[in-house]
Chain A
Amino acid sequence: MSNQDKNSDPLEEFFREKSQEYDIEYHEEDWQKLEARLDQADQQRRQQRRRWIAAAVIAMLFAVLAYITYDQQLKINELNDELSNQENITTLPPSSDSTDDQSTDPTKQTENEADLLTKKTEQEPNKATNDPSQQSRKDSKIATGQNKDFKQNIEQQSNSTFDISTIEFKEKSLAIAKASPGFDGRSPAISAIKPTNFSGTENTKVRQFPSSPPNNSVQLAAQRRAPRFTIGVLVGPDLSTVGGMSNFYDPGYKFGVSFEYNLTQNLAISAGAQRTMVRYVASGSEYSPPQGYWSYGVVPDKTVGECILIDIPISLKYDVKHFRHSRLYATAGLSSYIMLDEDYKFRYNQSNSSNLKQRWHERTGTTHWMSNATLSVGYELDLSQTLSLRAEPFVKLPLQQVGWGNVNLYSMGTFVSINYKLH
């Protein structure tokens, strides 16, 4: 800005001076207009913040899932290495000074075998010497003194038809499997080893077993740990809209319980109840209250709905792909809605709308059976043998109109659930 005092134009001087002599009355209605805009801006800011929080929570959940998966994978790798070392030691050719004894005395052989296994689990894998025969002898000597009780047990069972070495292997592998869910896939391969005859020929056969489990071992493991019933607690955001899969409003939420029954290894039927807060915006044409409700027939330009309802889904769940300790699945089903509380606010573009309907709020309790189709895909991660964590994006499509406003309600979101398997 420049100082124009030097300008001597009397007209300019006059207007400059007069412009300072204002005496303008305050108008409250101007503030009210501004306040309405500020309210709207605040609401948008809150919505944006909620969206960011929801996004952050989802991102955090995925990060936790990724970390758990990575951590489990590391443990599995470690256990694989350990088990490979055990297999190598178990199938080594017997040393010269013990060959005769082992080949002629099966009891001694099983003792040594048991000693070896017992000792091996106590040792770090990387401490194994490069000379397996020396290590084997050393282990036998040390372990013989330390595991007398165990050997006595084995001796007691030596006359039975059980294969001691196999039992021991199974025990070991189960112990490992307990430490690592999903590791069971390894055990069938281990139990297939036949240590009763440790002649060179047999040992060669043993070495022929692949280091990784056969493909069906994962399925066998899944079968073994598949309990019939699963109960779950779930929570998640709900984004709803009417008329189509767009124009989403403020996110709502869902939380509830689910019950699941396994029909087969991969197929399950599930049901549940979810308390749901639905928020949406409907245009005038998408919202249809009972006929004659609108004042003077003036339909609002926008309806903001906020409803609390109970969502009762019944669905079929199919495990699409099994991993060692997790699985991918898809579900399809139908949802019934029980409307608990319906609150609708009506907005008009025209300025003089104070004499028109502004709000409708009631606890209705109406039920809409099979009103929506539900589709979802999910990922389930075993946290232990009984607990699992699921992340399940879903979409709900309208089959019939719901609520007092008879709207076609579309919803989408992501469930996050903790599930407990009943054995």
Chain B
Amino acid sequence: MIKEIIKGCRKRRRESQKKLYQRFYAYGMSITLRYADSRGEAAEILNDAFMKVFNNISSYDTDRPFKPWLRRIIVNTAINHYHKHENDRQQVDFELVEHEMGQRQDILSGISYDEIVEMVQQLSPAYRTVFNLYVIEGFKHREIAEMLNIAVGTSKSNLSKAKKNLQSIVEKNFS
């Protein structure tokens, strides 16, 4: 089924492109929502990513799974988006809270996916991006440093601050 859709996309058939978009919309948005400030921005990143997908669909190897290929494109697009708007944003650091989240599992278990996304979106773009790349995507600090043109130490520091900020947000909203 997916191969047929991709075949249609290669022929630039609009209905195939729409099918592919619909099928992976939620998956794509689940990624972009964590990198964006808002839903609108997330949709914008997703559409940018799908433009790349449709323009480069001929280079996709149909013998390999589609999702990782798409994920890689979406993450790269999100990083590009981060670079593009790097100077537009003002970094807002939350006050660091020293609580240990390990002791607050009962609070975490009651938080929904939407609330998680909302919390991540409250982080500054620099912290959020490092947090997503390290925690969710599984990149190493060295790789993140290369992708974001920052020092490895900065990546580690941003991750640490992101986690502390998240703890703070959880404390504030759910305790």
Contacts and interface: CB of A to CB of B under 8 A. Distances in A.
Nearest to B28: A24
Interface in B106-163: 108, 111, 113, 116, 120, 131, 134-140, 143, 163
Nearest to B72: A1
B145 to A, nearest CB: 14
A363 interface: no
Contacts of A11: 101-102, 108, 163, 166-167
B135 A16 contact: yes
Interface stretch (A28-36, A128-136, A193-201, A216-224): A28-36
Given A24-B25, A35-B18, A19 B139 contact: no
Nearest to A4: B138
A35 B120 CA distance: 29
A15 B101 contact: no
B1 to A, nearest CB: 18
B47 A42 contact: no
Interface residues of A, number: 29
B29 to A, nearest CB: 5
B90 interface: no
B18 A31 contact: yes
Nearest to B131: A15
A2 B102 contact: no
Contacts, number: 87
Contacts of B17: 38
Contacts of A245: none
Contacts of B139: 1-2
A33 B47 contact: yes
Contact of A10 (B46, B101, B120, B136): B101
A14 B105 CA distance: 9
A3 interface: yes
A34 B167 contact: no
Contacts of B29: 22, 24
A2 B43 contact: no
A3 B135 CA distance: 10
B94 interface: no
Given A34-B51, A37-B51, A15 B25 contact: no
B113 A42 contact: no
A12 B167 CA distance: 11
Nearest to A31: B21
B102 A10 contact: yes
B98 to A, nearest CB: 14
Interface string B2-31: 000000000010100110011001110110
Nearest to A10: B102
A303 to B, nearest CB: 26
B25 A26 contact: yes
A12 B135 contact: yes
A37 B43 CA distance: 14
A30 B25 contact: yes
A127 interface: no
Interface string B43-84: 100110011001100000000000000000000000000000
Nearest to B51: A37
Contacts of A41: 51, 55
Nearest to A34: B47
A386 to B, nearest CB: 48
Given A35-B14, A37-B51, 15 more contacts: A1-B137, A1-B138, A4-B135, A11-B166, A14-B101, A14-B108, A15-B120, A15-B131, A18-B113, A19-B30, A22-B26, A22-B27, A22-B29, A24-B26, A27-B25
14 contacts: A1-B137, A1-B138, A4-B135, A11-B108, A15-B120, A16-B136, A18-B111, A19-B116, A23-B26, A24-B29, A25-B26, A31-B18, A33-B47, A38-B51
